[in-house]
Structures are given as C-alpha cells and as structure tokens.
A and B are shown apart, each in its own frame.
Chain A
Amino acid sequence: MSSAVVSVDGLTKEFRSGFGLRSKRVLRGVSFQVAEGEIFGFVGPNGAGKTTTLKILMGLIRASGGRARVLGHDVRETDYRRQVGFLPEAPYFYDYLTGREFLRFYARVCGVARPDRAARVETLLDWVGLGHAGGARLRNYSKGMLQRVGIAQALVHDPRVVFLDEPMSGLDPIGRKEIRDLIRRLQAEGKTVFMNTHILSDVEMLCDRVAIIVQGEIRFEGSAHALLADDERDAEVVLTGVGPALAERLAERFGDAVRGLGERVEVAIGQKRVGELLSEALAAGAQVVSVAPRRASLESIFLSAVAEQARR
C-alpha cells in the first residue's frame, strides 16, 4: 500500500511485572496498513491487543519490537501529532472545566494560534451538536455528550488522521447513530479514521477495511465487503410435511445443517446444494415453505477466527 497513513510492521509487546520476572506477551508480530481517506476497523475480542496497539500508535506505550509509523513518522516522535487526533476508550475529562474551556485548553496544547482558538472551538461545538452546552461543566454532561466533546477534542487541531478507541461503547442506540454520523462526516471531510471496536454491526455499517486481531495476532486484513463476499453464502430452506423416513435421509446427507421438530424442518446449507435438497424433499412429498439466502455476517467470520485461534 503506497499511500499508507498508518503502517504497522511486526509489532510485538511484552508487559513485564514482578520486577521483570514475569512477562505477558500481548502482541505477536502485528502488521497492517491503513490507506488515506478510509475508515479502518480494528476488530477483536476483549484482551486481543487492540488498545495496546492503539496506545503504541499514540506513543503511550513503547513497543518491544517491530515498527509503527503514522504519516511516515516514527510513533515515538512528538511533532507529527499535530496531524493526529485521538479519542481513548471510556474517556474521562477534566470535569471541573466547561465544554468550551476544555476545548480551548486542548487547542492551546495543540498549538492552535490564539486568534483562531475561539472560532475553532465554537465551530467544533456546533459540529458535534453541543453549541448549546458549551458553558456547562463536563461533570454535568451525559455519556453521549462526553463522547461527542471527546471527538471534538480529537479534532480541535484539524488533524489528518483520527484514532477512536471503542467510540460507540456504552452508548444507547441514538448516541451510537450520532457517533456513526460524525465518523461518516469525518471521512467526507477527507480524514482517515482508525477505529478500535468490538461492535461488529458498526464495523459492517462504517468500515471500508478491517483487520481482525485475536490473541495478539492478525487473523484477517482486507476490505470489509470482500470479507463478507468471499465467505461461502448460505441459504436457509424451510420444509413442511417431512415424514420420518425423509427426515432421517436429510439428517444423513446434510448432518448438523438440519434442524427441526416433527414435520417442519429447517436446513441451512450452501447455495450450491439447494437444488439437491429440494429435489429430494419434493420427491418425498414434502412442501417448500421458503428458500432464503443467508448472508454471512462479520460476526460469524469473527467468531470462526476466534475459534480457529483457540484450536491452534
């Protein structure tokens, strides 16, 4: 990937404890790339190494090995962070500040010129829908409002890349939709978005590309659509009037794919075998209630990746 905004190559991390006598390997040679302008989903179960990877990218944790670069800079550098925004997971902010004071403080730390600060802060407050609440202290904000003001602080210096750690975590459906809309607007403004998450439906709705990490190893990296299209598509066939003899034959031929009770049977099989199933069922006098395609979900792919890793 020539225009990689984020480039991670063979990243490893071991946490040492007990005066260095105990160590826990969290990342085992993680590699992936993120292209300019895309929404990239970094997906994995709890404890897979998502947040550790993100903290290495943000310079909060030092990698034990490998290389991580953002916009061509080593992540241990400081200056390039003028072009990077970050929203941590379940963020806590200085709750004694008002939303406006909070954003002005971050604008100053990020080097936004003094004459531009006030206008930038007001624009951002409006942008995240908090124009009315800029004068209220953060301790009085709801979780959704905190998440939005958190996104605003990540954008206060107009960065090129935005890193979000579990941005939808703990939000109600309305709050999640608001954050999804904000992320789409970021992409529309030409920003690259890197998103850590375990909410797969959000990944399916938002992400152009996905990497799945399980136990510190990347199990998949690629286009989210390709990931879903590549998987064998299933169909679900529902039959009635299935006698005991037919039920037995179906169970022999299609195994665990057959579920049902009495005369009603559901069979989940690959699309290529639907004709075979229907011929057999109709010949035995069964009736077809429905034949519906079953789209592979990211969840099923994710779960099979986790299961495969557990078997290794």
Chain B
Amino acid sequence: MSSLDRIAAIAGNTLREAIRNRVLYALLFFALALIGTGVLLSTLSYVERERILQDVGFAAIRVFSVAIAVFVGIGLVHKEVDRRTIFTILSKPIARSEFLLGKYLGLLATLWLQIAVMGAGFAAVSLAAGAPLGAVHAAALAGIAAEVAVIVAIALLFSAFTSPMLASLFTAGIWLIGHLTRDLRGLGAQSQVEAVKRATEWLYRALPDLDAFDLTLQAAHRLPIATSDLLLPLAYALGWIAIALVAAAWIFERRDFR
C-alpha cells in the first residue's frame, strides 16, 4: 500500500462527496445561466459583441470557481473535525499530511471538473453566437484552473489553524489583494519615496500575483500566447501551492483534535 494510494482514497472520497452534494449543482447551474446571459448583454452593444459575450463568460467562470474554492476549501478540514469523521480517518495508518493532500486534490478535481463543464457551456454559447474559439481560450481556462488551485491551497492553509469565518475572510482577502499587487507595484515604482517603492515591491513578492494567471484579455482579443506565457504562470502556481500545502501540513501535524 503506497502513500499515493492512501492519498487517492481520500481524494476519491472528497470528489464523491462533492458529486453527491446538490448545492454544488445549484452553483453550477447559476454559473451556466450567467454564461448564457452574456448573449443578452452582448445584444446591448453594436460593437465587439463577441468580446462582451466572452468577457462575461470568463468572469462567470472565474467568480464561481473562486467562490466555490474559498467556501468549500475552508470547510474542507473543519467539517471533518466538526463532524468527528477525522477521528476514524487519522486513527488509521495514514499520515496527516497524506490526509491533507488527499482532501486538497479531491476538491481540486471537483473544481476542475466544474471548470470543464462551465468551459463546455462557454464554448457552446460562443459557437451559438458565432464568436471565435481557439487554443487561446483553452489557455485562459487553464489560467483560471491554476488560480483556483492556488486559492484552494491558501484556503486549506488558513482552515488548518483558524475558524471557517476567519479562514474565509483571510482567503477572500488574499484573492482580492492578489489581483491588486501587480498594480500596487506599478504605482509604487512611480513613487518618489523610496520606502513606498520598497513596501510595494515587498508586498508583491510576499503575496501571490493572481493576475499572472489571467489570460482572458489575450483570449478576448485573440492575441497569440507563447508557450512560456502559459508555463511560467503554471510553475509560479506550483510554487505557491507547495508553500501553502507544506505550511498547512506543518500546522496540521501539531494540532490536537479534541
């Protein structure tokens, strides 16, 4: 019995729980409905209808995916503790880090499955409206998938040591700041005050730059994307995921389950 098999068992069970959860289906339905409303919104404009349609579609996919990542991610461990299911799991021959990684991968699989379904809806609406579709759109979806992977890892980190309410606030905060750090650094660079320059640079390095995963602008304008434009953000995401998961495992390992 390998460590991978134990992790796969936990991940599989997490995925199964999500698949049998009707709330997630409701959220998925609303996301698909919102993607569909892009058709209506695009009719309000005489120009760039396809762009509006696809902007709305990508925004719906991102917001719903991140919202599910935050609110399901922070409850991932808490629910197991609250319902005491963690007692039977951790009394088995499984390391706490394996359990945590299994939960992470299970939720990630759920979210990626949802992104795939929403992506299919997006493609169907785009084709029906005669909007162009290409590899750049798939790359933009991969960018959202990478962003969600980082957010779930951060949610898991916060949920390892704090209450669900605080964890959701912290994670949502990181997501918001993560979309601002690049602009803040740009503003700081123009400042005449050296301390402001350093502070914004430090902030940029200390927090994830979630705009690094945003390829929707290129997709909407059908700009070409180089392989490095996709691989570098993916490597960056892997780095942040590793940091968050190692920290979460370190904290989780020391926790008492009363």
Q: Which stretch from A78-86, A166-174, A186-194, A257-265 is at the chain B interface?
A: A78-86
Rounded to whole angstroms, the CA-CA distance of A81 and B91 in the bound complex is 7
Produce 1/0 per residue, A68-91, CB < 8 A to B: 000000000011111010111011
Instruction: Identify which of B21, B85, B88, B256 gathers the most chain A CB atoms within 10 Å of its CB.
Output: B88
Cβ contacts under 8 Å, B84 to chain A? 88, 90-92
> Which residues of chain A (253-301) have a CB below 8 Å from chain B?
none
Tell me if A86 and B91 are in contact (CB < 8 A).
yes
Judged by a CB distance under 8 angstroms, whether B172 is at the interface is no
In the complex, the chain B residue whose C-beta lies closest to that of A16 is: B256
In the complex, the chain A residue whose C-beta lies closest to that of B94 is: A109
Q: How far is the CB of B99 from chain A (nearest CB, A)?
A: 9
Rounded to whole angstroms, the CA-CA distance of A62 and B13 in the bound complex is 27
Rounded to whole angstroms, the CA-CA distance of A194 and B256 in the bound complex is 22
Rounded to whole angstroms, the CA-CA distance of A106 and B1 in the bound complex is 13
Tell me if B16 and A86 are in contact (CB < 8 A).
no
Judged by a CB distance under 8 angstroms, whether A111 is at the interface is yes
Judged by a CB distance under 8 angstroms, whether B46 is at the interface is no
Tell me if B9 and A105 are in contact (CB < 8 A).
yes
Q: How far is the CB of B94 from chain A (nearest CB, A)?
A: 6
Produce 1/0 per residue, A143-187, CB < 8 A to B: 000000010011001000001000000000000000000000000
**Known contacts A60-B256, A61-B258, A109-B6; is A86 also within 8 Å of B87 by CB?**
yes
For the complex with contacts A58-B90, A94-B13, 5 further pairs of A-B residues with Cβ separation under 8 Å are: A55-B256, A87-B88, A96-B16, A109-B94, A163-B91
Tell me if B88 and A93 are in contact (CB < 8 A).
yes
Tell me if B92 and A91 are in contact (CB < 8 A).
no
Q: How far is the CB of B163 from chain A (nearest CB, A)?
A: 14
Cβ contacts under 8 Å, A55 to chain B? 87, 256-258
Rounded to whole angstroms, the CA-CA distance of A145 and B125 in the bound complex is 49
Q: How far is the CB of B257 from chain A (nearest CB, A)?
A: 4
Judged by a CB distance under 8 angstroms, whether A127 is at the interface is no
Tell me if B256 and A61 are in contact (CB < 8 A).
yes
Judged by a CB distance under 8 angstroms, whether A108 is at the interface is yes
Produce 1/0 per residue, B1-26, CB < 8 A to A: 10001100110110011001100000
Rounded to whole angstroms, the CA-CA distance of A246 and B244 in the bound complex is 83
Cβ contacts under 8 Å, B6 to chain A? 108-109, 111
Cβ contacts under 8 Å, B258 to chain A? 15, 52, 55, 61
Tell me if B256 and A15 are in contact (CB < 8 A).
yes
Cβ contacts under 8 Å, A86 to chain B? 87-88, 91
Judged by a CB distance under 8 angstroms, whether A97 is at the interface is yes
In the complex, the chain A residue whose C-beta lies closest to that of B84 is: A92
* From A60, A93, A97, A101, contact of B91 by CB (8 A): A60
Judged by a CB distance under 8 angstroms, whether A222 is at the interface is no
**Known contacts A93-B88, A109-B10; is A78 also within 8 Å of B257 by CB?**
no
In the complex, the chain B residue whose C-beta lies closest to that of A81 is: B93
Tell me if B90 and A92 are in contact (CB < 8 A).
no
* From B21, B91, B94, contact of A84 by CB (8 A): B91
Rounded to whole angstroms, the CA-CA distance of A164 and B1 in the bound complex is 26
Rounded to whole angstroms, the CA-CA distance of A160 and B161 in the bound complex is 34
The residues of B with any CB-CB pair to A shorter than 8 Å are: 1, 5-6, 9-10, 12-13, 16-17, 20-21, 83-95, 254, 256-258
Judged by a CB distance under 8 angstroms, whether A45 is at the interface is no
In the complex, the chain A residue whose C-beta lies closest to that of B6 is: A109
**Known contacts A94-B17, A111-B93; is A106 also within 8 Å of B88 by CB?**
yes
Rounded to whole angstroms, the CA-CA distance of A43 and B89 in the bound complex is 25
Rounded to whole angstroms, the CA-CA distance of A151 and B14 in the bound complex is 23
Tell me if A109 and B85 are in contact (CB < 8 A).
no
Judged by a CB distance under 8 angstroms, whether A59 is at the interface is yes
Tell me if A78 and B5 are in contact (CB < 8 A).
no
Cβ contacts under 8 Å, B91 to chain A? 58-60, 81, 84, 86, 88, 163
Tell me if B256 and A111 are in contact (CB < 8 A).
no
Cβ contacts under 8 Å, B92 to chain A? 81, 106, 109-110, 157
Tell me if A97 and B85 are in contact (CB < 8 A).
no
Rounded to whole angstroms, the CA-CA distance of A163 and B87 in the bound complex is 12
Q: How far is the CB of B187 from chain A (nearest CB, A)?
A: 36
Cβ contacts under 8 Å, B17 to chain A? 94, 96
Tell me if B89 and A109 are in contact (CB < 8 A).
yes
Tell me if A96 and B20 are in contact (CB < 8 A).
yes
Q: How far is the CB of A54 from chain B (nearest CB, A)?
A: 10
Q: How far is the CB of A284 from chain B (nearest CB, A)?
A: 62
Rounded to whole angstroms, the CA-CA distance of A154 and B91 in the bound complex is 9
Tell me if A88 and B93 are in contact (CB < 8 A).
no
Tell me if B88 and A78 are in contact (CB < 8 A).
no
Q: How far is the CB of B1 from chain A (nearest CB, A)?
A: 3
Cβ contacts under 8 Å, B257 to chain A? 55, 60-61
Tell me if A78 and B87 are in contact (CB < 8 A).
no
Residue contacts A-B, CB under 8 angstroms, 9 given:
A55-B258, A81-B93, A91-B84, A96-B17, A109-B93, A109-B94, A110-B92, A111-B93, A153-B88
